[in-house]
Amino acid sequence: DTGVSQNPRHKITKRGQNVTFRCDPISEHNRLYWYRQTLGQGPEFLTYFQNEAQLEKSRLLSDRFSAERPKGSFSTLEIQRTEQGDSAMYLCASSWPNTGELFFGEGSRLTVL
Amino acid sequence: GQQLNQSPQSMFIQEGEDVSMNCTSSSIFNTWLWYKQDPGEGPVLLIALYKAGELTSNGRLTAQFGITRKDSFLNISASIPSDVGIYFCAGQLISSGSARQLTFGSGTQLTVLP
């Protein structure tokens, strides 16, 4: 399977703990995106990379959030000192540049207790 | 900022019926896309539209890019049980050779009754 892969699929953590999600994009794609989705809403943009460069960050991405794509391949999204409001599905997607045809992974669902 | 209004929020239809949903924007987009999302999964691209007035089909799905570039429609004909899911519209603005991120609507929950 050469689709976008995310892990873990589910994460339950206590408030204040740090969590990290990993995304492996489609290998031919040089753009990688992180979105957040809460119940009953569409995905909301967090940040994106072109190769290893992080080109844009949303205001939703507070200081507790950090994303990396060190070698231009896989990416990680870390949330420090988690809060209950961080509970959501975190979606990763990849694409070629200048196209809206994003291919999404299955998502990582975070529950903060 | 850009906002997408998607309607209806939910629909209950009988198997075999046709269904329509639409999306309107306060801003102009030059790409419209429609995605479907099943529970616990990521969105899957259904149709991409790149030109105002464009009408594109994908099997029983047909989508149109509005002339004003501020709206789009998705029609599903002869619905079947596997059409159940949440349908999202998404718009993108490409300017000066750089694509901005997608803006998603809030989704239309489709239920198909046997």
Q: Decide if pLDDT at B100 tops 80.
A: no
Contacts of A43 in chain B (CB under 8 A): 43, 88, 102, 104
pLDDT attached to residue B94:
67
Q: How many CA atoms lie within 13 Å of B113's alpha carbon, on the beta-carbon side?
A: 4
| CB nearest to A100's CB, from B41, B48, B97 | B48
Q: Decide if pLDDT at B2 tops 60.
A: no
pLDDT attached to residue B40:
87
Q: What is the mean pLDDT of each run of 10 residues along chain A (113 residues)?
A: 90 98 94 94 92 89 93 95 97 87 95 97
Give the residue from chain B lying closest to A47, CA to CA: B101
- Residue range B55-63: mean pLDDT, rounded: 96
Q: Does the distance separating the beta carbons of A101 and B48 come in below 8 Å?
A: yes
Question: What confidence category does residue B16 fall into, taking pLDDT thresholds of 50, 70 and 90?
Answer: very high
DSSP for B14-51, written as a single string = ETT--EEEEEEESS--SEEEEEEE-TTS--EEEEEE-S
Residue the block writes with tokens 């997608």: B102
Q: Decide if pLDDT at B62 tops 90.
A: yes
3-class secondary structure, A57: strand
Question: What confidence category does residue B97 fall into, taking pLDDT thresholds of 50, 70 and 90?
Answer: low
B85 in contact with chain A, both atoms CB, cutoff 8 A: no
B55 in contact with chain A, both atoms CB, cutoff 8 A: no
Contacts of A6 in chain B (CB under 8 A): 42
Among the listed ranges B11-15, B42-46, B90-94, which one has the minimum average pLDDT value? B90-94
Mean pLDDT of chain B: 91
Partner residues linked to A92 by β-bridges: A34
Question: What confidence category does residue B96 fall into, taking pLDDT thresholds of 50, 70 and 90?
Answer: low
How many degrees, rounded to 5, is the angle at CA B28 between CA B25 and CA B34?
60
To the nearest whole percent, how much of chain B has pLDDT over 90?
A: 79
Q: Does the distance separating the beta carbons of A41 and B102 come in below 8 Å?
A: no
Angstrom distances, CA of residue B28 to CA of B45, B90, B103: 21, 12, 12
